[in-house]
């Protein structure tokens, strides 16, 4: 028997620098998304690299539910590893240190997809797209 998810909407509040909110708003507008939809999608997309052992459905960026693993697994190890190298890290410094490997993996994946002619980058359109079959 599968566990039921609470699909009701709740508010999540966070604080970011004004320039960052402006960038997110502009990017959301480019994608024809609401700011809430944009942030939710980006958070879920970012979580994919940290959540091992979940199904694709549980990691779906369209899902409004967020799964919080109590053991933290790999993420806890990454945080502890970064923190052992210095005394104090700001949120932004810690986030940058932890997400660096995701950026590297994304870059390598995009390069591979471009080499196989699955994805192409268009400077004119400002982004990546699937190559038409």
6 located within any domain? no
40 located within any domain? yes
For residue 22, the model assigns a pLDDT of: 92
The answer to whether 60 touches 44, Cβ cutoff 8 Å, is yes
- Domain of 79? 71-133
Q: State whether 50 and 77 are in the same domain.
A: no
Q: How many domains does the chain have?
A: 2
Q: State whether 58 and 29 are in the same domain.
A: yes
H/E stretch holding 24: helix 18-30
Q: State whether 83 and 43 are in the same domain.
A: no
Contacts of residue 98, defined as CB under 8 A and 6 or more positions apart, other chains included, come to 75, 78, 79, 82
Q: State whether 32 and 77 are in the same domain.
A: no
4 located within any domain? no
How far is Cα 95 from Cα 98, in angstroms, rounded to an integer? Answer: 5
More confident residue, 31 or 25: 25
Q: Domain ends where: 53, 68, 83?
A: 68
Please compute the mean of the pLDDT values over residues 6-11 and round it to a whole number. Answer: 80
Q: State whether 46 and 81 are in the same domain.
A: no
10 located within any domain? no
For residue 2, the model assigns a pLDDT of: 60
131 located within any domain? yes
Nearest to 39 by CA among 24, 54, 49: 24
For residue 129, the model assigns a pLDDT of: 92
Q: State whether 114 and 61 are in the same domain.
A: no
- Predicted TM-score of the model (pTM): 0.37
For residue 68, the model assigns a pLDDT of: 36
The share of the chain scoring above pLDDT 70, in percent, equals: 77
Q: State whether 132 and 81 are in the same domain.
A: yes
pLDDT band at 14 (very low <50, low <70, confident <90, very high): confident
Q: For residue 25, give the 3-state DSSP assignment.
A: helix
Nearest to 44 by CA among 25, 71, 62, 32: 62
Contacts of residue 36, defined as CB under 8 A and 6 or more positions apart, other chains included, come to none
- The pair of structure tokens assigned to 129 is 């797209």
For residue 51, the model assigns a pLDDT of: 58
Q: State whether 27 and 63 are in the same domain.
A: yes
- The pair of structure tokens assigned to 123 is 């400077």
Q: State whether 105 and 133 are in the same domain.
A: yes
Nearest to 109 by CA among 53, 61, 48: 48
């Amino acid at each position: 028997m599968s566990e039921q998810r609470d699909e009701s909407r709740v508010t999540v509040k966070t604080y970011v620098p004004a320039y960052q909110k402006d960038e997110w708003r502009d990017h959301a507008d480019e994608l024809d998304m609401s700011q809430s939809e944009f942030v939710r999608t980006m958070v879920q997309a970012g979580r994919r690299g940290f959540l091992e052992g979940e199904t694709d459905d549980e990691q779906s960026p369209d899902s409004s539910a967020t799964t919080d693993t109590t053991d933290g697994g790999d993420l806890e190890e990454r945080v502890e590893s970064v923190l052992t190298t210095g005394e104090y890290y700001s949120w932004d410094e810690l986030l940058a240190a932890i997400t660096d490997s995701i950026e590297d993996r994304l870059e390598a994946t995009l390069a591979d997809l471009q080499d196989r002619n699955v994805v192409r980058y268009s400077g004119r359109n400002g982004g990546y797209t699937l190559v038409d079959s």
